[in-house]
């Protein structure tokens, strides 16, 4: 079963989407449906903390045994008045608002 859906989007974005679909040999509806299928079924999966890709590297950086990437030194201490939990809460609230959850 399908449902007709009317969207109001920016003209340039609509053209970009149409060209993308055309290049892929798909309809715009198929492309949009594919993208919408990537949305988690519940907000529960959005609330799970992501796994750290390289915990050993993070540990070395936090211990001062591994240098930070250039440009990141200026960010050290910027959130010094916040606990890790407060930073995570602010981050997740921002992401939920950004993604409309």
Angle at 58 between CA 53 and CA 62, to 5 degrees: 165
16-20, 27-31, 40-44, 77-81: least confidently modelled range:
40-44
Q: Which of 9-18, 33-42, 68-77, 88-97 has the highest mean pLDDT?
A: 9-18
Does residue 89 lie in a domain region?
Answer: yes
52 CB contacts (<8 Å, ≥6 apart)?
58
Range of the domain at 98: 42-101
Range with top average pLDDT, 8-17, 40-49, 77-86: 8-17
Confidence tier at 26 by pLDDT (50, 70, 90): very high
Q: Is the CB of residue 68 less than 8 Å from the CB of residue 76?
A: yes
Domain count, the chain: 2
The whole-number average pLDDT for the span 10-36 is: 91
Global pTM value: 0.42
Please indicate, yes or no, whether residues 86 and 50 belong to a single structural domain of this protein: yes
CA-to-CA dists, residue 75 to 13, 87, 89, angstroms: 34, 14, 19
Is residue 1 assigned to a domain? no
């Amino acid at each position: 079963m399908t449902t007709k859906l009317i969207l109001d989007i920016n003209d340039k974005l609509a053209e970009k989407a149409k060209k993308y679909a055309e290049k892929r040999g798909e309809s715009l509806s198929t492309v949009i449906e594919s993208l919408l299928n990537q949305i988690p079924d519940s907000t529960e999966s959005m609330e799970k903390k992501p796994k750290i890709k390289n915990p050993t590297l993070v540990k070395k950086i936090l211990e001062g045994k591994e240098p930070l990437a250039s440009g990141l030194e200026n960010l050290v201490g910027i959130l010094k008045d916040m606990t890790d939990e407060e930073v995570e809460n602010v981050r997740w609230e921002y992401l939920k608002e950004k993604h409309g959850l």
